[in-house]
């Protein structure tokens, strides 16, 4: 079964001939997007040249909308592909200043600190921040409070900006 068809319409943001952009259903983080192939495959090489040509501009539009419309600090674009039942898809994750603050203020995630330029200077990488977003905003039954517009407000805004 192609689970792309199981996404409720209220989460849909944009669509091309080859791709669907939707807000991640189980994410309390406003702007966490999924860009999924309409063709059920887990291999980019199996997509048409038209679908592949749509992908780059679509990712760029999503990133631009999150940065300019929602003022997020960073946008992570990631691809995973081991869950059966889903077509190839990309996670587009906004990292707002307030999300980074929550990360740095949560002692549980201090175990993940890596050294930046030397002792005393710490940094994080995309994998650690992605783990934080997944655990805190997608898996927790009581996610942290958000700052800014709600998920439904962001969906409405992004519908206007991306398409």
Instruction: Tell me: pLDDT of 1 over 70.
Output: no
Span 86-139, pLDDT tens digits:
899 999 999 999 999 999 999 888 776 655 555 555 567 788 899 999 999 999
User: Which three-class secondary structure state does DSSP give residue 79?
Assistant: strand
Span 49-92, pLDDT tens digits:
999 999 999 999 999 999 999 999 999 999 987 777 889 999 99
Give the residue numbers spanning the domain of 126: 3-162
Alpha helices in the chain (DSSP H): 49-64, 70, 97-105, 126-133, 151-162
- Considering its fold, how many domains does the chain have in total? 1
Segment 11-36 mean pLDDT: 97
CATH number at residue 48: 3.30.428.10
CA dist., res. 81 & res. 36, Å (int): 11
């Amino acid at each position: 079964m192609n689970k792309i068809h199981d996404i409720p319409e209220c989460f849909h943001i944009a669509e091309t001939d080859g791709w669907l952009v939707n807000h991640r259903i189980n994410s309390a983080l406003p702007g966490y997007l999924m860009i999924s192939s309409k063709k059920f495959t887990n291999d980019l090489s199996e997509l048409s040249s038209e679908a592949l040509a749509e992908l780059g501009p679509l990712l760029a539009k999503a990133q631009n909308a999150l940065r300019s419309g929602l003022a997020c600090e960073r946008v992570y674009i990631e691809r995973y592909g081991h869950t059966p039942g889903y077509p190839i898809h990309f996670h587009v994750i906004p990292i707002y200043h307030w999300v980074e603050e929550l990360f740095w203020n949560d002692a549980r995630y201090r175990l993940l600190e890596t050294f930046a330029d030397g002792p005393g200077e710490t940094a994080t990488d995309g994998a650690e921040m992605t783990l934080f977003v997944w655990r805190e905003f997608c898996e927790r039954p009581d996610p942290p409070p958000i700052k800014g517009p709600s998920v439904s407000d962001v969906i409405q805004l992004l519908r206007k900006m991306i398409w």
